[in-house]
Structure 1
């Protein structure tokens, strides 16, 4: 089922007799049980005010279309959503609704926040088939209960997004990457922490264990970038040899964003969120065949043999999400980290309020 309007979407949900598997672009391989319901037919830009840095789009609008539109005005999606297609071997086109339903963000999250932090308003259809809206279309008109951020990251279990209003930001004039050769994970985390704790407005901090290299990104006006790069080069030289790349960082940081190092390698892929200081003790316990560190060490991407339960090896507080695995492993281990009892009760209560018939991606998030 692919409704062509919000009203048709609401009618389909209201008349549904069983579970519905909500689908955006189908690029992340995340779907609940039931009849497929795609929002791809809800596509288009309904409002764009470059001067106000605001954009309103229907949920099925392809991310690539939005990025092309913003580029014409020298603007961007600052939270740089990850493209999962290379890692998962999927096709289709990522959609704006899918990005916010999963709260997808890339390396720049450490500086500007997650996708949810750019949401101004949403329209969605709940499990009863009612059309609801919350927030506003411009930054000065955001009022009411914050259902906006509640919908971000709910993966369609509370409602099906039909429209999103969001803030955009100007494109940076210049970009530079400072690379430090560091072979030791503990020193790598210290180097990233020093960069992030500096006054130089770092927008990316990643560590490639295979290449033994810490990468620090700086963006902004050209003169400012050059000044900050010079200062960071001096401060980070205590950790290892420093090199600088000016002006050609987009493709490199996209490869970090999309975990390109694991695209052509066999095995399951886990996404683990922990405190950067805890990553040092946790990493060797994972016994992974490949490890990548983003967000200053707070985000670990781990490549492990098929069927490995990394949650059983978690010795520090955090969340482990199974991103790529066989259907059997996914069914056995579950995609998402089990919630503590108190939080699970709150989540169940919210689902009962928004989806009393339990038809929207049932079982997807517990």
Structure 2
């Protein structure tokens, strides 16, 4: 049984890290815990529950800036933003149900630490692109801050972006500041039925290359299309979202329908149905039905997504895929208990490279295989140097990312 600490403020975190450093005692960190089972299982005697570091410190809707403590639930932040007709533009995804956790447990720190953006990433950018500033405690037991309340911070290294995606291995986050944006006035989704993944990738590329300003593009094959909570997708659907002011959306929808005409007649979904569908796509909702099956999150060039999925399916009949980011993000669920690491990573390499992260597998499997994409030698060396600078004693989430 891992003993648990529960700091209540930044000074508590500083004291706790200093103690762990002095005792050479590694710590496992979590806030909401919704993604705690991603990565190698912790080999630590002590856990740090950061959930008490919660609350919105400052929110200025006119300036489009929000500052909150690290463990503030995303649900709380999104409720506040909704009241002010604003949003986090990268479309946070609630991945808890994919991992057998209840919905709504995700926190701001977990979002930043994983850098997992939703479907709007192909238009709005990654989580790190919207982070303005952070406060944290390094593995040296030192409080530091980076950035502020504006986008232009050019003094020294941009730690605000650099620490995003480090999974708690470099520092303990205590506060984050994010840019917010106004919500679109309306949205619609154009749907083309019955395409193969390969043809869908071509159609989505045409849509993304047009002047229609597509904010989401995904292909939902027939074997998963019924699991998104939207009627009429059962034969498989290629979906593209448009957002903005009403007249603009109408005009762009007409233009996009013409672009898609060679691929089939495009149907349209209304704004409420569009919201339901894209929440489910960002969360890979159909793959939450059976949390015992291995699940991969694969990032490749958009036109390579179908080939990667097909290569793995050739070795694992019954595998199922969802293609988001115009085909560049592949959620791939495998039958049985074998995550087929060599097959997945081999398919990614054959396609020209990318990243494959094992999102879901049992603890024994995660302890035995590289969960995250192995880095080229130069990047691995840089990662080690960063770890040496921020956490030289290796006390923060040791081994979670394989180092």
Q: What TM bracket, shorter-length normalisation?
A: over 0.9
- State the partner residue of 1:215: 239
Listed as ranges, the matches of 1:287-306 within 5 Å are 287=313, 289-305=319-335, 306=337
TM-fit CA distance, 1:144: 4.0
Report if aligned partners of 2:195, 2:238 keep a CA contact under 8 Å in 1: no
| 1:332 paired to 2:368 | yes
In structure 1, distance between residues paired with 2:217 and 2:152: 32
Note the residue ranges of structure 1 that are not aligned, 5 or more in a row. none
TM-fit CA distance, 1:272: 0.6
TM-fit CA distance, 1:182: 3.7
| 1:165 paired to 2:169 | no
Listed as ranges, the matches of 1:187-206 within 5 Å are 187-206=199-218
1:242-293 CA distances to partner (integer Å, 9 max, x unpaired)? 1001212111101101101111135210011111122232221111521100
Return the match for 1:185 from 197, 211, 222: 197
In structure 1, distance between residues paired with 2:362 and 2:302: 29
- State the partner residue of 2:164: 152
- State the partner residue of 2:232: none
- State the partner residue of 2:227: none
In structure 1, distance between residues paired with 2:42 and 2:169: 9
In structure 1, distance between residues paired with 2:59 and 2:363: 41
In structure 2, distance between residues paired with 1:324 and 1:278: 23
Report if aligned partners of 1:134, 1:144 keep a CA contact under 8 Å in 2: no
Say which is worse superposed, 50-59 or 257-266, in terms of deviation. 257-266
In structure 2, distance between residues paired with 1:329 and 1:125: 31
| 1:53 paired to 2:64 | yes
- State the partner residue of 2:301: 275
Return the match for 2:14 from 3, 10, 15: 10
TM-fit CA distance, 1:140: 5.7
Listed as ranges, the matches of 1:236-255 within 5 Å are 236-248=260-272, 249-255=274-280
Report if aligned partners of 1:279, 1:297 keep a CA contact under 8 Å in 2: yes
| 1:33 paired to 2:43 | yes
Say which is worse superposed, 233-242 or 112-121, in terms of deviation. 233-242
CA RMSD of aligned residues (A): 1.5
1:90-142 CA distances to partner (integer Å, 9 max, x unpaired)? 13711101100111200000000011000111111000110000111234667
- State the partner residue of 2:230: none
- State the secondary structure of the residue aligned to 2:166: coil
1:243 and 1:172, CA in 2 relative to 1: closer, same or farther beyond 3 A?
A: same
Report if aligned partners of 2:136, 2:143 keep a CA contact under 8 Å in 1: yes
Return the match for 1:311 from 340, 345, 351: 345
| 1:124 paired to 2:136 | yes
In structure 2, distance between residues paired with 1:55 and 1:135: 13
- State the secondary structure of the residue aligned to 2:243: strand
In structure 1, distance between residues paired with 2:175 and 2:373: 28
Deviant stretches of 4+, over 6 Å: none
Note the residue ranges of structure 2 that are not aligned, 5 or more in a row. 223-234
TM-fit CA distance, 1:332: 1.7
Return the match for 1:112 from 124, 134, 159: 124
Listed as ranges, the matches of 1:252-263 within 5 Å are 252-263=277-288
- Give the total of aligned pairs: 366
- State the partner residue of 1:88: 99
In structure 1, distance between residues paired with 2:63 and 2:162: 25
- State the secondary structure of the residue aligned to 2:255: helix
After TM superposition, the score normalised by the length of structure 2 is 0.88
Say which is worse superposed, 303-312 or 213-222, in terms of deviation. 303-312
- State the partner residue of 2:387: 351
- State the secondary structure of the residue aligned to 2:262: coil
1:166 and 1:144, CA in 2 relative to 1: closer, same or farther beyond 3 A?
A: farther
- State the secondary structure of the residue aligned to 2:62: helix
Say which is worse superposed, 291-300 or 238-247, in terms of deviation. 238-247
- State the secondary structure of the residue aligned to 1:323: strand
In structure 2, distance between residues paired with 1:243 and 1:364: 45
In structure 2, distance between residues paired with 1:86 and 1:322: 16
Report if aligned partners of 1:136, 1:142 keep a CA contact under 8 Å in 2: no
